Amino acid sequence: MYLIVGLGNPGRQYEKTRHNMGFDTIDALIEKWNVPQGGVKFNGMYGKTVVGSEKVILMKPLSYMNLSGGPVQEMANFFKIDLETELIVIYDDIDLEPGQLRIRKRGSAGGHNGMKDIIRRLGTEKFCRIKVGVGAKPQGWDLADYVLGRFSAEERKGIDEAIEDAADAVEMIVKNGVDAAMNQYNKKKA
């Protein structure tokens, strides 16, 4: 069974912001796989489906980004998720060019507060993550203002493609393993 978590902030004011790449990818997966809403459990919206032969839970923590660890920990414990092989976390990354994906089997939080909280609560960095590039903040900008801002219409097209790529990468991980997805998606966009 896989637990696929998309990070973001709940509420209309945060929809389609740079910080909600995880939520947007979960929404793309819900549409792609036609996943029914399961409700709210452990302060996270979730839905269940089967992909190939694997049971999958899609989750959006409702605790706001910086407190994502609690809902993820509780959901993983409840469903007895093997963190190293069955957890996938999707989130934004300012160190990657807009639309660039980076899939890793483990790693630090890299300054991302949502990931810091998840790593702290889970007690490990050994779990799969898909980072969706949103680009570096412009000089002189406040980081919070930047990540809570929206993309320009021109940027949005590439970002929408990246969200679809991230959803496809999740499906590849579930069906073929993380190494196959890393080989396919961890390359520079042309």
**Which residues are annotated as catalytic?**
19
> For the purposes of burial, counting CB atoms within 10 Å of the CB of 170, is it exposed (0-12), middle (13-18) or buried (19 or more)?
buried
Reference 121, options 60, 76, 81, 88; nearest CA is 76
Q: Residue 166: pLDDT above 90?
A: yes
CA 137 to CA 95: how far, in whole Å? 9
Q: What integer is the mean pLDDT of 162-188?
A: 94
CA 177 to CA 52: how far, in whole Å? 12
Q: Residue 190: pLDDT above 60?
A: no
Reference 28, options 39, 16, 19, 18; nearest CA is 16
Q: Is 49 helix (H, G, I), strand (E, B) or coil?
A: strand
Query: Is 76 within 8 Å of 42 (Cβ atoms)?
Result: no
pLDDT in tens, 24-79: 999 999 999 999 999 999 999 999 999 999 999 999 999 999 999 999 999 999 99
Cross-sheet strand order for the sheet of 128-133: 39-41, 44-51, 54-61, 2-6, 87-93, 128-133, 101-104
Query: Is 6 within 8 Å of 130 (Cβ atoms)?
Result: no
> How much is the pTM?
0.95
